[in-house]
Amino acid sequence: MDFSVTIYQFPKEIKLLIIAFVCTLSIGFYSGISFVRSTTNANPEGIEQRYLGNEDDENATKMMFKKSEGEIMTTVHSHILSLSIVFFLVAIILSTTVINQKLKIFLMIEPFLSLVLTFGGIYFLWKEIHFMKYVIMFSGFLMTATYTASIFIILKQALKKTI
């Protein structure tokens, strides 16, 4: 049995709901990315300082201290839970689009892998495994890129013959 329904078959009001949801979700997602960029300077050293502090740097313009275990666990816990729901909802909507099947599966699954690597990486960086700052940066970039690609595909197909 084939249960495939495409976004093109949705009624106009469902497409408009999807468009409103994805746009609102993206405002929240990209404001979070902007916050990360402003607190880490979008580089590995900034990531390391964000979680491990910079008390030893006498030239630092802003003093930062190592995060407590509670702060790290709250960050990891809350981000993995909330972003899992975000990526699940985006994947459900993406599943209704008409694109290459392998690309679709990649875009649906990859954000979950990057989510675990990014926030698991933050925990291990906090445990003084310093190379994790590169894993965090790469997986965070990949997570953002796959989110962006998915949203672009969804909006492009939802807008077609809707407005």
Residue 2's pLDDT band (boundaries 50, 70, 90)?
A: low
Distance of alpha carbon 36 from alpha carbon 31, whole angstroms: 9
- How high is the mean pLDDT of the chain? 93
Which pLDDT score is estimated for 163?
A: 58
* Interior angle at CA 137, CA 133 and CA 143, nearest 5: 140
Structure confidence by residue, pLDDT tens digits, 101-143: 999 999 999 999 999 999 999 999 999 999 999 999 999 999 9
When pLDDT is averaged across residues 89-94 and rounded to a whole number, the result is: 98
Q: Judge contact between 152 and 93, C-beta under 8 A.
A: no
- Whether the model pTM is above 0.85: yes
CA 158 to chain centre: 22
Structure tokens at 95: 């599943």
The helix/strand/coil state of 58 is: coil
Residue 162: is its pLDDT beyond 70?
no
Which pLDDT score is estimated for 1?
A: 42
